């Protein structure tokens, strides 16, 4: 068990003992038997010392005799790691030379890390750049979030009179296999092709409409379509629309809206109509202006002779109502009148009847 695995195991054991919540670690991607390492040069201090192989030999001792060491007098120095296959890389951890009793990583100051899917490296392959104004720790881990097979530790900084030099004792790379991400290396799921180790999908985006980058999670309520950039229509009962097509459930629209052939409910009622399924006819709005397509309220005044929120009530209709009331009351009295007439005809007083 190497140092990282032991550290991870120890952390998990400690948390288990303390009954604290579960933690996890990314996979360690370097295989000490199959991973290939190459350096820009080897310091000629003898007997095989200083070669790149020291960075993956499983020995974490940071005395320079256990480290790779590039030669002096060069304008640049590098170490490349070939992981063998492409991974979703998350971070790189370096154990640097530390054999003097004080920090000896000054030659690492200003270094950079590049990650590539091919052996060649371009400037856009830089995944980490040391700011250069703080002395790096002799054991440090930095993020390098890339989908890559080749990792390169690089410097062209002449931090002393001996030129650009690297002295790396051990290195580990963490991440997940392709199409996996996170500390538990879960499936990328909704990415069209691949994701980074952090879960963000690559530049190819999401598997299909109904998901939104960068993590390609399902559209939130109220949005749909490619990258969830489209807004839902007006579905009945505030229901959300289909995340892919934008259609409302069963094509049911909120009052004031109708759906097109795709059941999106994004067309307001035509002028003169309002309400559920746009089946209610507007009242007498002044100037023949339309009423509100949801409530039916006139947006302006009513035509002369009409009133009410929807301009449906008129003076004429009021007169009709009064007339109707009078007629009804007369109809109610009619049987009594007939009876009085009959009683008088018979010579009987109406009060006898009452």
Footprint on this chain of Ca ion (rule: CB under 5 A): 54, 57, 59, 169-170
Nearer to Ca ion, 57 or 82 (CB): 57
Query: Cβ of residue 180: shortest distance to Ca ion, in angstroms?
Result: 28
Query: Cβ of residue 173: shortest distance to Ca ion, in angstroms?
Result: 14
Strands 267-268 and 257-258: antiparallel
Q: How many angstroms separate the CA atoms of 103 and 90, rounded?
A: 26
Nearer to Ca ion, 5 or 23 (CB): 5
Query: Cβ of residue 170: shortest distance to Ca ion, in angstroms?
Result: 4
Token output for 44: 């000629």
Nearer to Ca ion, 170 or 209 (CB): 170
Q: How many angstroms separate the CA atoms of 285 and 263, rounded?
A: 30
Nearer to Ca ion, 137 or 160 (CB): 137
Nearer to Ca ion, 6 or 204 (CB): 6
Query: Cβ of residue 169: shortest distance to Ca ion, in angstroms?
Result: 5
Query: Cβ of residue 76: shortest distance to Ca ion, in angstroms?
Result: 22
End-to-end Cα, the chain, rounded Å: 115
Query: Cβ of residue 172: shortest distance to Ca ion, in angstroms?
Result: 11
Query: Cβ of residue 98: shortest distance to Ca ion, in angstroms?
Result: 12
Nearest to 256 by CA among 288, 295, 283, 298: 295
The phi and psi torsions of 306 (rounded to 5 degrees) equal: -120, 150
- CA torsion sign, 291 to 292 to 296 to 299? negative
Q: Tell me which residue has tokens 């091919």.
A: 118
Do residues 172 and 93 touch, judged by C-beta distance below 8 A? Answer: yes
Nearer to Ca ion, 54 or 181 (CB): 54
Nearer to Ca ion, 59 or 240 (CB): 59
Write out the H or E segment, with its range, that includes residue 320. Answer: helix 315-345
Phi-psi bin for 225: left (phi > 0), alpha (psi -120 to 50), beta? left
Token output for 206: 């999401």
CB 129: neighbour CB atoms within 10 A? 13
Strands 77-96 and 36-39: antiparallel
Query: Cβ of residue 140: shortest distance to Ca ion, in angstroms?
Result: 16
Nearer to Ca ion, 54 or 306 (CB): 54
Q: How many angstroms separate the CA atoms of 267 and 293, rounded?
A: 10
Write out the H or E segment, with its range, that includes residue 306. Answer: strand 306-307
């Amino acid at each position: 068990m190497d140092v990282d695995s032991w550290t991870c195991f120890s952390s998990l054991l400690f948390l288990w003992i303390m009954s604290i919540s579960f933690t996890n670690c990314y996979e360690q991607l370097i295989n000490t038997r199959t991973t290939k390492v190459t350096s820009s040069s080897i310091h000629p201090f003898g007997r095989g010392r200083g070669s790149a192989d020291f960075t993956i030999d499983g020995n974490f001792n940071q005395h320079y005799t256990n480290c790779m060491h590039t030669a002096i007098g060069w304008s640049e120095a590098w170490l490349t790691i070939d992981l063998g296959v492409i991974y979703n890389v998350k971070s790189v951890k370096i154990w640097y030379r530390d054999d003097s009793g004080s920090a000896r990583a000054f030659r690492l100051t200003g270094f950079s890390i590049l990650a590539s899917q091919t052996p060649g490296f371009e400037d856009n392959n830089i995944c980490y750049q040391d700011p250069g104004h703080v002395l790096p720790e002799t054991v440090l881990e930095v993020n390098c979030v890339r989908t890559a097979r080749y990792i390169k530790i690089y410097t062209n900084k002449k931090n002393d009179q001996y030129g650009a030099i690297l002295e790396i004792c051990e290195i580990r790379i963490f991440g997940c296999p392709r199409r996996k991400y996170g500390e538990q290396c879960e499936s990328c799921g909704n990415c069209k092709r691949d994701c980074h180790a952090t879960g963000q999908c690559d530049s190819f985006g999401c598997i299909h409409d109904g998901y939104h980058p960068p993590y390609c999670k399902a559209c939130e309520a109220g949005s749909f379509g490619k990258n969830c950039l489209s807004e839902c229509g007006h579905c009945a009962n505030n229901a959300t629309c289909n995340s892919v097509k934008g259609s409302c459930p069963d094509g049911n629209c909120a009052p004031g809206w109708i759906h097109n052939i795709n059941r999106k409910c994004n067309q307001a009622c035509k002028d003169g109509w309002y309400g559920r399924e746009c089946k209610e006819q507007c009242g007498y709005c002044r100037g023949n202006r339309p009423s509100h397509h949801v409530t039916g309220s006139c947006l302006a005044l009513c035509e002369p002779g009409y009133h009410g929120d929807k301009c449906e009530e008129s003076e004429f209709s009021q007169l009709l109502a009064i007339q109707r009331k009078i007629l009804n009351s007369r109809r109610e009295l009619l049987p009594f009148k007939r009876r009085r007439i009959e009683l008088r005809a018979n010579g009987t007083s109406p009060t006898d009847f009452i």
